[in-house]
Amino acid sequence: MKIRTLTLTAASTLAMTLAGASAHAEEYKAVILQSLTGGAAFIGKNVADGAVLAAEELNEQGFFGEGNSLVFEVEDDATDRTQTLSLITRLAADPEVLMVVGPTSGSVAMAGANVANEREFPVMTTTNSMEVLENGPWSFIMTQPASITMPFIADYTAETLGVETCAVIGVKDNEAYVALQRMYEDLITEAGVEIVSNDGVALADSDFSAVATKIATSDQDCVFVGTPAAQGANIILQLKQAGLDPDTAILGHNAFASPTFIEKGGAAVEGVYLIGAWVPGGDTEFSSAFATNFEEKMGFPADEWNAMGYSGMQVVAHAIRDAAEAGNATREGVRDALGEQKDVPVVVGTHTYSLNEERVPYFGMKVLQVKDGEFTVAPQ
């Protein structure tokens, strides 16, 4: 377990003391519950790091009002259902905790959302699973569902690249990945692209020589790989080793938007197209400042999930502040404020985050391409 608690800055404390207002200082407590270990740690740890930076900066800026602060802890769901249920139950029993930012992956998020709704406790899960929203009014999703994200890469496949045939390789034992793949298949089929082969792999698989040989010796304009970053890099490496035509476009979804993809794939993933909400280094003043601050603090550049955690915490902070300003800094007040967030400045996508009437987030995506070992905005 990793715990971080923010306190008032010395300057704020002094100002409050001089004003005689220290008794009125408010502390709003939230818990960042992410997969610091386990299968989803490549997402959860980075989301947590981004959220921590956002919380620290917001406190330093006096975002919650003079003398007020966000107090938070970081907990590990370990990508484990039992541990998640135990933590959500314990946190819901603590009246000082207003809400939880997490859990991370779909399977544990569903379990956590179920308990949170039973206990009327707000959670903003990292997953994009719509089932989290269907669990009840106390559960939210931080990331966009497939219906919003996949059209970006499907349209690029059919319209920008103009492909006519495509082979698909995707994870068969994870519902979230299956949903993304099916959405992609439906969209490109509607656009007139023929799917010439469709191969499923398990998350634990590492030998893809048979499917790689089959696809490398077949004729298609593109290959879509819908797997986690490290596994996708391995698949692409084996496709290239099997002799895949270098003119074949290779595409993936936002699971590839991780440094792990480039680290594991090396030269083999050069030229791969993917979708991502984060443009490395930032592409606005706000996002560039985040990139600079994050690297200065952490010693390495921010990735997609660092940026997502930072953005998610911006949304949470606005909701907590709105609830407090309305005189209702309670769990119910925060839940209501979360559902009403519109045009929150964020560092991802089109740089504003809004929820619609069904609590579905929208902040847009960009099509990226690996160029010279880095993620860059793809040619339009």
Q: Domain of 338: which CATH number? A: 3.40.50.2300
Whether residue 369 is contained in a domain is answered as no
Whether residue 308 is contained in a domain is answered as yes
pLDDT of residue 10: 37
The total domain count for the chain is 2
Whether residue 370 is contained in a domain is answered as no
> 112 is written with which tokens?
């956590």
**Whether residue 78 is found in the same domain as residue 161:** no
What confidence category does residue 8 fall into, taking pLDDT thresholds of 50, 70 and 90? very low
Whether residue 1 is contained in a domain is answered as no
pLDDT over 60 at 20, yes or no: no
Separation CA 57–CA 135 (nearest Å) = 33
**Whether residue 105 is found in the same domain as residue 30:** yes
**Whether residue 245 is found in the same domain as residue 157:** yes
Residues 6+ apart with CB under 8 A from 358: 133
Whether residue 4 is contained in a domain is answered as no
**Whether residue 287 is found in the same domain as residue 325:** yes
Separation CA 99–CA 122 (nearest Å) = 5
Residues 6+ apart with CB under 8 A from 226: 168, 169, 170, 171, 177, 180, 181, 184, 232, 252, 253, 255
**Whether residue 135 is found in the same domain as residue 205:** no
**Whether residue 357 is found in the same domain as residue 267:** no
What confidence category does residue 25 fall into, taking pLDDT thresholds of 50, 70 and 90? confident
> 267 is written with which tokens?
């030269």
**Whether residue 138 is found in the same domain as residue 51:** yes
Q: Please say which residue of 233, 251, 276 terminates a domain.
A: 276
Q: Please say which residue of 276, 291, 306 terminates a domain.
A: 276
Whether residue 248 is contained in a domain is answered as yes
With a pLDDT cut of 70, the percent of the chain lying above it is 94
Going edge to edge, which strands form the sheet with 139-141?
69-76, 27-34, 97-101, 123-125, 139-141
pLDDT of residue 1: 42
Give the domain extent around 88. Answer: 10-144+283-364
Separation CA 155–CA 151 (nearest Å) = 6
**Whether residue 55 is found in the same domain as residue 162:** no
Q: What is the pLDDT of residues 111-157, one digit of tens each?
A: 999 999 999 999 999 998 899 999 999 999 999 999 999 999 999 99
pLDDT over 70 at 330, yes or no: yes
pLDDT over 90 at 18, yes or no: no
Separation CA 84–CA 37 (nearest Å) = 12
**Whether residue 247 is found in the same domain as residue 157:** yes
Whether residue 378 is contained in a domain is answered as no
**Whether residue 170 is found in the same domain as residue 228:** yes
**Whether residue 102 is found in the same domain as residue 175:** no
Whether residue 375 is contained in a domain is answered as no
Cross-strand bridge partners of residue 102: none
Q: Please say which residue of 222, 249, 276 terminates a domain.
A: 276
**Whether residue 151 is found in the same domain as residue 213:** yes
Separation CA 106–CA 38 (nearest Å) = 13
